[in-house]
Amino acid sequence: VVVVADPLPETVLGPLLGHDVRFCDGSDPSALKEALGDAHALLVRSSTQVDRSVLAEAPYLRIIARAGVGLDNIDVEAATQAGVLVANAPRSNVLSVAEMTVGSMITGLRNLLPANAALRSGRWDRGRYQGRELSRSTVGLVGLGHVGTLVAQLLRPFAVRLLVHDPFVSVHHAASVGAQLVDLDELLAQSDVVSVHVPRTPQTKGLIGERELRLAKPSLLLVNTARGGIVDEGALNAALKEKSIGGAVIDVFEIEPAIGNPLIDHASVLATPHLGAGTREAQERAGREAVTAVLQALAGHPVPTAVNPPASHP
Ligand code: 3PG
């Protein structure tokens, strides 16, 4: 029994033929628990929260396959203790997220969305929406993993001055993408654009808060296509309100769906509903990789994309 709890492209489910594939709305915890009663595998994206209480209702579960990268919606430690493999698709949507990040930098710097809204409401206001060039600006990347590295590479033709903060990478790796490694305070103080590319973990939650935002230039464009909560939402809301930073691109929120989140209402914010991986190509890659992991686990084969070594298999 394979439970699909988040929307996946139909095209990727073909190889599951012969298994009992069931669909449920993973954002509803009771529907999820009910569906998992006799399930051997669970396929999710980021809307399904898999915590200890969910695992307790899934006695036959062998694998949770995440059709995407982030694992903050899955209690990996609890899964390990329950003997359940967790696998993700670590590179599947990197290109889509990186492309959207660079595109949204330009969209934000050029005020394209407010200008579009003004034009739709009948105002031809060329002077009001003067923007800034990305080229030759200083861009700070918080995190130089798969996405951060690709963003750095895509920024090459813009000849930006690239700063990186990442305690886990070497000076050599930073230099290989033309970046200088600096501490977070220096990155915030010097950058025209700051883009966040770290996972949400207890260590990164609130990484950019009130103190950090106070270090930024008043013209800063802050981009977050990584995870909500890494930039403290209350502090960001205050900074936008008092215009101590220039604006923000926000694709991810601490609580999603983020309906009613006050960040969305700022004129200087380009807000989108967690669309970084929202391309046909990324969804097909992620879905295919996750389905492959399910088939490997159900066949008792090694799962190369597993992120945990479960203590025991039921
Ligand atoms: C990820 O972590 O892979 C991205 O944020 C995409 O999440 P999604 O699969 O829910 O779109």
What digits encode the pLDDT tens for the residues 110-130? 999 999 999 999 999 999 999
Q: What percent of the chain has pLDDT over 70?
A: 99
Q: Which amino acid is located at 61 in the chain?
A: L
Going from the C-alpha of 197 to that of each of 147, 149, 200, 226, the distances in angstroms are 6, 9, 10, 5
Band (pLDDT 50/70/90 cuts) for residue 314 is very low
Going from the C-alpha of 181 to that of each of 106, 147, 160, 205, the distances in angstroms are 24, 16, 15, 21
Among all residues, which ones are annotated catalytic?
Answer: 227, 256, 274
Residues 160, 235: Cα–Cα separation, whole Å: 27
Q: Which of 43, 45, 250 has the most ligand 1 atoms within 8 A of CB, as the residue to mutate?
A: 45
The atom number, within ligand 1, closest to the CA of 66 reads 9
Token pair, residue 198, equals 């770290």
> Does residue 193 contact residue 141 with C-beta atoms inside 8 Å?
no
Distance (Å) from CA 127 to ligand 1 centroid: 38
Residues 147, 94: Cα–Cα separation, whole Å: 5
Tell me what the mean pLDDT of segment 174-190 comes to: 98
> Does residue 48 contact residue 23 with C-beta atoms inside 8 Å?
no
DSSP 122-145: T---TGGG----STT-EEEEE--S
pLDDT at 283 over 90: yes
- Average pLDDT of the chain, as a whole number: 97
The atom number, within ligand 1, closest to the CA of 275 reads 11
DSSP 78-123: HHHHTT-EEE--TTTTHHHHHHHHHHHHHHHHTTHHHHHHHHHTT-
What digits encode the pLDDT tens for the residues 21-50? 999 999 999 999 999 999 999 999 999 999
What digits encode the pLDDT tens for the residues 100-111? 999 999 999 999
- In the prediction, which pLDDT does 310 show? 79
Tell me what the mean pLDDT of segment 191-195 comes to: 99
Ligand 1 first shell, C-beta below 6 A = 45-46, 68-70, 93, 274, 276-277
Tell me what the mean pLDDT of segment 264-270 comes to: 97
Q: Which of 48, 93, 227, 280 has the most ligand 1 atoms within 8 A of CB, as the residue to mutate?
A: 93
